[in-house]
Chain A
Amino acid sequence: MKRLLRVGIGLAVLGVGLGALKIAWAVPFDGQAVPDAKRLGELLKRPPGERQISAEEVQRCLGLLAAPAGSREGGTSHRRVCAMLLLAYATDAPSLEVLRKEAAGAESGGLLSGVAAYAVILREHRACSDEDLLGVLCYHLGLAKNPWTRMFLANRLWSDYGAKAEWVIYEAAKTETDMFVKADLLYYVSRTKNVELARAAVASDWSACGDIPEDYACLLSLITPGRTPRYEHMLRIALVQALARTAGASTESPGEETKVELQGFLELRAGEGVAGEPLVVTVGLKNVGDSPFITTYACPGVFHRTADVSFTVTTLADAPVLTYRRWPTEAVVQQLHPDLVAQLGDRAPAIRPGEAVIARRTVPLVQTVDNRRVWLQPGTYKIQAKIRIQRMAENFMTAAETFTVKPLAPEDQGVLSIFTPDLAQILGGDRTIMPKRTAVADAKAEELREKFPRAPHRQYLDFHLLGVWRGYPTPQGDQMQMAKANAYLEEFPKSPYVDDVLWRLVRLEAGAGESEKAAAHLETLLRDYPDSPLKQEAEELQTKRELQTKLIKEARERAAARKAAKEKKAALEGKPAPSEDNGAGLP
């Protein structure tokens, strides 16, 4: 009996251990930093004037910071960050000095110096009343050169002042240059219940928001009331959806998805073109009807549904800009109305009814504003648009629809589970590499755009980013890229980048030994894209392949002839014919 009990206890301990391990896997925030983060969370629940750590805690934090970073005593950056955040609520002079010393290089943008700078601001204004501190924090949010300082200042403002600080955080979010901090600030803005703010925020451009790294999402969730550790790269869309719902909260008949009224715009990114020259443009759609806007996002995925929607191209003033460079609205203009052509007259010689504007990379430039956006002449041109909404976006919107008054409350954990499989599929099941890879990928995005001089087509870039920077240098990685390329070709057959994708696919398939498929794609490339800049390379490869095929064919013929001769000779001499596996045959 005792033995059974011991086994039972042993299994229970093992179970708990494995459970803990599972949690550690799921949240790659340094487990040793979690107690300090939780302590900080408890501290921050108190009113600002009552936040103070004990002398023992101060000594422990100082001991940690005094030891070399990365050492057993010095701990990881997570632990050091938490120590500094705690020291913001110390009262002794030595710890303030330590923080000041750490903060000295904050302008260079470092994490630890940025956090220290934040802690110094709080320490130096400890004596301020809550009201005075609000102004000081707003001021420093504007002044701080370090994005981490700004991130924690915004956290403080939102947690301690709520609605009073919403507009300031919104202003800061709009101008934020760090993509991660921008997303973080957007999170706070998206919590608003202020319809006016939500409307303003919905009309802003959040395309530069990046992913929130998993570890900092975890830390922020521990120190921010009601915040869940969301870190996936669809977060930005979720946040804008939440804002859209708040923005539409005061309308009388929200949610009529089937009668969405859209306005379209054409966007030219800075420096990409010259007036009068053919351009690649992004076609975007903005819901201007009463319903909270929906159905205008598109993300990479395999399945999609299509819906015919007519929209009106209007002027800049009438079409608030809403662009998603990272996950752009995928609207393929199928047909230009004859009225448009008639209206444009001589200015649109290359535009004919039935042509796809994006595919031709041509847009009539009528009005240029700040050399950034190009607009069609004001009018009421009807353009038939086909919007492709892919599965992931649909899933996401389904998830977004489940958002209620408090869209991203803890109970929406279920939302995350809806699209986690898609994310896992994209990332090959290994989510832990995502933040690093994403950072590299985003850093390389500009480089890629230069490498491929045609204007960016995000799905195309995503294909490359996924394949080249987020993928794996393994056969599985190659398979992933091939699948992605095939899906891309299926979904965007008229993309101006099909030749590039085909070329990449040929190389991948050839490398994987799938020569028949490679040959077929190479043939398609040469046949269907005679003007491709890749033609020369493709022809060279085709020549090599033909030569190789010819050589192989000749070799096989020679081998067959030799084999036949041997058999004939053996037959004449009355000997048995040589067996198939005796090595004779190939040269």
Chain B
Amino acid sequence: MTNVTRRLRWGRGFALGTLAVLLGGLPPTVQGIPFGGEAVPDAKKLEALLRRPPEQRRLTAEDENRYVEILQQREVGGDLGCVVALSLAYGTQPRSLEVLRTEARQLNVAGIPPDIVGGAAAYAVAVREAQSRSPEERFGLLCYRLGRSANPWERLFLANRLAVDYGRRAGWVLLEAARAERPPEGAEDRLAESFAQYGMLHALVHMKDAALARAVLQEDWSKAFGGLAEQLQYLMARVSPYADADSWSFGPSKLLDIARRTAESAAPEK
């Protein structure tokens, strides 16, 4: 099995799960694809890492070496591969950066559906390359990369990075990025892109900014998928310290309700 097909299997799995949720009537065994158990400890480590300020996020040498080994294994599961790639964004060794670059190059190939581990690896490369820049410069670089990225998973993770690290300041960029999510083509592309847009909506409504909320309410979010597959909910909850873990189970309409409340609460009283 090639790297690409191995990684795509995971994407297809939760894509089916999501469709099942949307269709509403399929068996819970399909709906509830659990997050890979082997990846849970490392996902929790990543969560702890992301609760620190950006400058203090550093993987231990031991973890970094282990993650490099995992990422290079041919049969690594998608959940674990994704967590490991996301975590390596905070590595320090040249070797791990090289491995990430290789993964990103091999898994992001024009003409094949976007791959989540490829997206995570490309995201991690972007974060690593901006690591030594000042917060201001890093902000610009992440925004630039968000615009340039061809992988919706990478965009999802970059948007998440901006939301977590820069909060309200990234609001207009995320709104712009959500607007510009490309029209879906293939089924898997469609899911990935809609997830990216959903992720941006999620971040935007949690900024609790009235002007942003009003702008959000004026946009068309019909393309944004809600009801993420359980495994993606779990992953996104780990990497999003700005929101309750439960909020990743909200559909777009519930998120828009939050935005509406934010907009109304800030409206001048009549």
Residues of A within 8 A of B (CB): 125, 128, 131-136, 138-144, 161, 164-168, 171-172, 175
Contacts and interface: CB of A to CB of B under 8 A. Distances in A.
B172 A125 contact: yes
Main SS at interface, chain A: helix
Given A132-B169, A143-B148, A175-B148, A138 B137 contact: no
24 contacts: A125-B172, A135-B162, A135-B172, A136-B172, A138-B139, A138-B140, A138-B143, A139-B147, A139-B176, A140-B147, A142-B143, A142-B145, A142-B148, A142-B149, A143-B148, A161-B140, A164-B136, A165-B140, A167-B130, A167-B133, A167-B137, A167-B141, A168-B144, A171-B145
Contacts of A144: 147
Interface of B: 130, 133, 136-137, 139-141, 143-149, 162, 169-173, 176-177, 180
A143 B136 contact: no
A144 B140 CA distance: 15
Given A139-B146, A142-B146, A143-B148, A168 B173 contact: no
A503 B206 CA distance: 73
A168 B140 contact: yes
Contact of A128 (B141, B149, B172): B172
Contacts of A139: 143-144, 146-147, 173, 176-177
B243 to A, nearest CB: 21
A141 B171 contact: no
B132 to A, nearest CB: 8
A143 B140 contact: no
A141 B147 contact: yes
A169 to B, nearest CB: 9
Nearest to B172: A132
A356 to B, nearest CB: 35
B136 A138 contact: no
B86 to A, nearest CB: 21
Contacts of A132: 169, 171-173
B94 to A, nearest CB: 9
Nearest to A196: B132
Contacts of A168: 137, 140-141, 143-144
A133 B176 CA distance: 11
In this complex, the member of B144, B149, B171, B180 whose beta carbon has the largest number of chain A beta carbons within 10 angstroms is: B144
Nearest to B162: A135
A181 to B, nearest CB: 15
B147 A171 contact: no
Given A125-B172, A128-B172, A143-B180, A135 B140 contact: yes
Nearest to B171: A132
A132 B170 CA distance: 7
A125 B139 CA distance: 18
A142 B176 CA distance: 12
A476 to B, nearest CB: 47
B172 A143 contact: no
A131 B173 CA distance: 11
A107 to B, nearest CB: 12
Nearest to A143: B147
Given A139-B147, A139-B173, 5 more contacts: A135-B143, A142-B146, A164-B137, A164-B140, A175-B148
Nearest to A168: B140
B169 to A, nearest CB: 6
Contacts of B143: 134-136, 138-139, 142, 168
A172 B140 CA distance: 11
Contact of A136 (B130, B133, B136, B173): B173
A135 B137 contact: no
A131 B141 CA distance: 14
Nearest to A138: B143
Contacts of A171: 141, 144-145
The 7 A-B pairs of least Cβ separation, nearest first, read A142-B147, A142-B148, A143-B147, A138-B143, A135-B173, A139-B147, A168-B140
A114 B33 CA distance: 45
B137 to A, nearest CB: 5
Contact of B170 (A135, A164, A166): A135
A134 B147 contact: no
Contacts of B145: 142, 171
A177 to B, nearest CB: 12
A172 B144 contact: yes
Contacts of B147: 138-144
Contacts of A164: 136-137, 140
Nearest to B168: A132
A165 B180 CA distance: 22
A165 B143 CA distance: 11
In this complex, the member of B133, B148, B162, B177 whose beta carbon has the largest number of chain A beta carbons within 10 angstroms is: B148
A138 B136 CA distance: 12
Nearest to A127: B211
B211 to A, nearest CB: 8
In this complex, the member of A135, A164, A168, A175 whose beta carbon has the largest number of chain B beta carbons within 10 angstroms is: A135
Contacts of B171: 132
A505 to B, nearest CB: 45
B169 A131 contact: yes
B162 to A, nearest CB: 8
